Amino acid sequence: MNIDVQNVTKNFGAFKALDDVSLKIRSGELIALLGPSGSGKTTLLRIIAGLEWPDGGAVRFDGEDALSLTVKERDVGFVFQHYALFRHMTVYENIAFGLRVRPRNERQPEFAIKQKVEELLHLVQIGSLAGRYPSQLSGGQRQRVALARALAIEPRVLLLDEPFGALDAKVRKDLRRWLRNLHSELHVTSILVTHDQEEALEVSDRVVVMGQGKIEQVGTPSEVYDSPATAFVHDFIGESVALPILGQGKSVSVGGKTIAIDAQGVEGKGRLFVRPHDIEISQPGPNALDGKVLAVRRFGPTHRVDLEVPVDGGKATIEAAVPAGRVPVIGEKVGLIPERYRVFAG
Ligand SMILES: Nc1ncnc2c1ncn2[C@@H]1O[C@H](COP(=O)(O)OP(=O)(O)OP(=O)(O)O)[C@@H](O)[C@H]1O
């Protein structure tokens, strides 16, 4: 199902939780809403679900006005961070629940319910646990049950709000991969809310990066990582360091030193963002920024180097990643060349 969010605004008192948000979600895609705490992800998800109403704007499901539909009529499946399984029901009963509470004239006969539940148990790979109660399951197993239960009613859209948020890192990683595979099999339009960028980048077809109630960028995982559209996205996704600069055509000045690199259209004040592994450390010279090595740390296969760089009005400390074999020593004066970088005005 296509979901079209048009100019949605939501205020809580004087606070703008969503500020003119527009987003088109394509049928069958898995989209992640990614952003820091308080950026409005859950509010947007709840509006799509029908649990919250916007102050302005529209939400359309395949062209139909979704805001005039109740939660039930919207046909959505939910999975939340905190397992909402029924404690007094077995795994089997939990999954069958949504099918059993349908009105009599829509309810399937018991053998069809059994067949459906068995299919789902198999799909989420917990067939052997059908007779257990939620208290007898691990956190990861409970979330699989929650997903199976959400899928039982064959929702038009699946909404996942930090579904793996309460699990430990290893289980999260396994479930992430599992969710990706499951989605490739089912192709149900899915929206995943997460503040974990690794999760968003690994699982989703497209990522919606949100900050302070606004959408900063929508793109594939590679697009948002390789071509961040705003300073916020560069800062939020992956590692980056930022230096205050003055841009002029094909040159950039940092703390009074001008080097010949493209200012990317920024004339005057701006910030240059670069990822630690995109900074080349060389000899000091006219075409490199001046840096002084403050600290060197081993970081997996590379070394991390803390560098002091003179900037307007003081000094900045930035971090570079260098391969073994080219590691400078503490106190050494070096030249720094940003190899891949983005300049944003302001
Ligand atoms: N019912 C409410 N009343 C008042 N303020 C609210 C309400 N619900 C959400 N907010 C505020 O709206 C903002 C956005 O909240 P939302 O839950 O959408 O953020 P989020 O991006 O999902 O954050 P998190 O990752 O922490 O869940 C927050 O500042 C929150 O405090």
Give per-residue pLDDT as tens, 261-298. Answer: 999 999 999 999 999 999 999 999 999 999 999 999 98
Instruction: Classify strands 289-299 and 333-338 as parallel, antiparallel or unpaired.
Output: antiparallel
How many angstroms is it from 140 CA to the middle of ligand 1? 26
Mutate to test the pocket of ligand 1, among 9, 37, 48, 210 (most ligand atoms within 8 A of CB): 37
Residues 1-31 as b/e (b if ≥16 CB within 10 A, e otherwise) read bebbbeebebeeeeebbbeebebebeeebbb
How many angstroms is it from 12 CA to the middle of ligand 1? 9
Mean pLDDT of the chain: 93
Task: Note the Cα 200 to chain centre separation in Å.
Answer: 4
Q: Which residues form the pocket of ligand 1, taking CB atoms under 6 Å from any ligand atom?
A: 12, 15, 17, 35, 37-43, 195
How many angstroms is it from 44 CA to the middle of ligand 1? 10
CATH number corresponding to 241-345: 2.40.50.140
How many angstroms is it from 171 CA to the middle of ligand 1? 27
User: By mean pLDDT, which of 46-50, 52-56, 169-173 is the weakest?
Assistant: 169-173
Mutate to test the pocket of ligand 1, among 11, 43, 191, 232 (most ligand atoms within 8 A of CB): 43
The residue-averaged pLDDT of 37-58 equals 95
Mutate to test the pocket of ligand 1, among 12, 46, 208, 215 (most ligand atoms within 8 A of CB): 12
What are the respective helix, strand and coil percentages of the chain, to the nearest 5?
A: 30, 40, 35
d(CA 263, CA 253): 9
- pLDDT higher than threshold 90 for residue 133: yes
What is the structure's pLDDT at 83?
Answer: 63
* Residue owning the nearest CA to atom 1 of ligand 1: 12
Domain ranges of the chain: 3-231, 241-345
Q: What is the pLDDT of residues 158-211, one digit of tens each?
A: 999 998 887 888 888 888 888 898 899 889 999 999 999 999 999 999 999 999
How many angstroms is it from 33 CA to the middle of ligand 1? 14
The residue-averaged pLDDT of 311-339 equals 91
The residue-averaged pLDDT of 24-42 equals 96
Q: Is 7 helix (H, G, I), strand (E, B) or coil?
A: strand
User: By mean pLDDT, which of 29-43, 52-66, 245-259, 295-309 is the weakest?
Assistant: 295-309
Looking up tokens 């939620």, which residue turns up?
134
Q: Which long-range contacts (CB under 8 A, 24 or more apart) does 280-285 make?
A: 280/336, 280/337, 280/338, 280/339, 281/305, 281/320, 281/322, 281/326, 281/328, 281/334, 281/335, 281/336, 282/334, 282/335, 282/336, 282/337, 283/334, 283/335, 284/333, 284/334, 284/335, 285/335
Is 3.90.79.10 the CATH classification of the domain at 3-231?
no
Looking up tokens 């018991």, which residue turns up?
110
Q: Which of 116, 165, 158 is nearest to 142 (CA)?
A: 165
pTM: 0.89
